[in-house]
Amino acid sequence: MNLKKRSENSDLRIEKNKGKKRLPKFTIALYILAAISAVLYVIFLCSEAFSDFFNRYIASVLRAVLAYLTGWIPFSLAEMFVILVPLIIVALVIYANRRYADSWRDVFVFCGIILSFAGLFFSLFTFGFASAYRGTRLNEKLGIDRSDVSAEELYETAVILAENVNREAASVAFREGGFSVMPYSYYDMNDKLIEAYDIACDKYSFVQRLDSKLKPVMLSELMSYTHITGVYSFFTGEANINVAFPDYTIPYTAAHEFAHQRGIAREDEANFMAFLVCIESEDAYIRYCGYLNLYEYVASALYSADQQLYREASAKLNTEVKYEMSAYSEFYEKYRHSVAADVSGAVNNTFLTIQGTEGTKSYGMVVDLAVAYYKSVR
């Protein structure tokens, strides 16, 4: 009798255990990977040399693999994911209600599964991109001395850039009283930028050589209200660009996102690398875009430092270039005041600050690199 009761109780416990939800093995594997990533991230924080090594020899492989895996897809996988997020959330809620609503234990198991995917995103970021934020600064790699700049130095740099803008503008087509016209498709631009990057790779050994494809964003018009002109999605390896902005901004933005894709993470450094790549191009329009976009950064800083010198520098621009800049101001007015821009700006600023940079202010710090660069080549 006792043996029979023990057997029945044992069978009941087995049946109960069968009904209990457990974390799948893949979820446990993702948590282990996230734990390894956390340790790795701490090492990045402690060692610049290790960050450089990891970025160049390990993270570069993951970035290249992701870029190749997603490059053949004709649309942005990252954009599609963002678009589908609401549907994914609804589907998960319905699925959880049907499969994981029997007990609090089931709820916790479901939450554990969801958190494991957040851990996967963290792991992809850590293994593919985080080390790039903690490595040697770009100015050190280029061998230039970065320091505080004076209004006079800003003026001298702005004049040099204006002269180069004017020279390249002679080979550029402009709409009457307005924007310049990119004389080829985005796909042709992609090829020209890859060629320019190949030249830059020969000149700067720290730049990763990679044949990749740009992803024009389908919802570029809506994206414009966030003031985002491009974004590198580390979890898909894609360089995404907003094609609703004027032509002259697009090659420079594309070169900037390509810089991220090649392991240059800090925004000011990606901006300056984009400039260096653009001016290496054999195409006059891409060179024009590189010089003009950097001029705008320097001129903005000069305006804040000395408005008289700013006016003197601006006076040196060709009439067509002045029209281009004026047309951009009119274009941007539509998007200037936007709640979406405030939200995206706050999120981006927080992310960049966590990575040890100066937040969204770091974009404009390309000015320091520009001044240091032209001081070094005089």
Mean pLDDT computed over 226-251:
96
**Which pTM was predicted?**
0.91
> Percentage of residues in the chain with pLDDT exceeding 70?
94
Is the dihedral angle over the CA atoms 191, 196, 201, 207 positive or is it negative? negative
**Alpha-carbon distance 155 to 287, whole Å?**
21
pLDDT band at 12 (very low <50, low <70, confident <90, very high): very low
Give the Cα separation of 328 and 227 in Å (integer). Answer: 13
Sorting pLDDT into bands at 50, 70 and 90, what band is 14? very low
Lowest-pLDDT range of 21-35, 95-109, 188-202, 281-295? 95-109
Residue 183's pLDDT band (cuts 50, 70, 90): very high
The tens digit of pLDDT for each residue in 57-80 reads: 999 999 999 999 999 999 999 999
Reading the block at residue 50, the tokens are 């290790």
Both structure tokens of 305: 């430092």
Per-residue confidence at 124, pLDDT binned at 50, 70, 90? Answer: very high
Domain assignments of the chain as residue spans, ordered by start: 18-134, 140-377
Please tell me the distance from the alpha carbon of residue 200 to that of residue 209, in angstroms, as a whole number.
9
> Buried b / exposed e across 116-146, counting CB within 10 Å, b at 16+?
beebbebbbebbbbbbbbbbeebbebbebeb
Average pLDDT over residues 172-196: 94
Sheet containing 214-216, strands listed edge to edge, beginning at the edge strand earlier in sequence: 214-216, 238-241, 230-233
pLDDT for 8 = 52
CB 270 within 8 A of CB 186: no
**pLDDT of the residue at 66:** 97
Tokens of 351: 């992310």
Instruction: Please determine, for residue 5, whether its predicted confidence score (pLDDT) is greater than 60.
Output: no
Per-residue DSSP letter, 249: G
Helix (H, G, I), strand (E, B) or coil at 265: coil
Average pLDDT over residues 160-187: 95
Angstrom distance (rounded) from CA 40 to CA 125: 11
How much of the chain, in percent, has pLDDT values that exceed 90?
Answer: 76
Hey, what are 57's tokens?
A: 């020899």
pLDDT band at 338 (very low <50, low <70, confident <90, very high): confident
Strand bridging mode 230-233 / 238-241: antiparallel
Question: Distance between CA atoms of 6 and 3, rounded to whole angstroms?
Answer: 5
CB 146, CB 266: distance < 8 Å: no
